[in-house]
């Protein structure tokens, strides 16, 4: 028996970003292929890191969402 309670989970790992301050969470997916974006980070020339979300199919990448003035975090 499957555990009760829910909707079907997608096979891909959802990039769920959560705000530490207010608890809001969002799922981000690619508008081109509909797949959940993957968590990743870029290192800038000055050495600082930027958290980003990228399409696993290579359609592009976006900066992680902001909420309450700070980067939302992805636990994946």
Rounded Cα distance, 33 and 35, in Å = 6
Cα distances (angstroms) measured from residue 20 to each of 30, 68, 69, 73, 75: 24, 9, 11, 7, 11
Q: Which is nearer to Zn ion, 19 or 74 (CB)?
A: 19
Single residue of 28, 36, 37, 67 touching Zn ion by CB under 5 A: 67
Smallest separation, CB 28 to Zn ion (Å): 11
Smallest separation, CB 50 to Zn ion (Å): 19
Rounded Cα distance, 25 and 73, in Å = 9
The site for Zn ion (CB under 5 A) is made up of: 19, 21-22, 24, 30, 32-33, 55, 57, 59, 67-68
């Amino acid at each position: 028996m499957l555990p009760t309670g829910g909707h079907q989970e997608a096979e891909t790992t959802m990039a769920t970003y959560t705000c530490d301050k207010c608890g809001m969470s969002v799922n981000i997916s690619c508008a081109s292929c509909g797949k959940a974006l993957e968590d990743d980070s870029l290192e800038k020339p000055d050495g600082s890191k930027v958290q980003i979300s990228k399409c696993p199919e290579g359609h592009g990448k976006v900066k992680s969402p902001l909420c309450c003035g700070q980067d939302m975090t992805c636990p994946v």
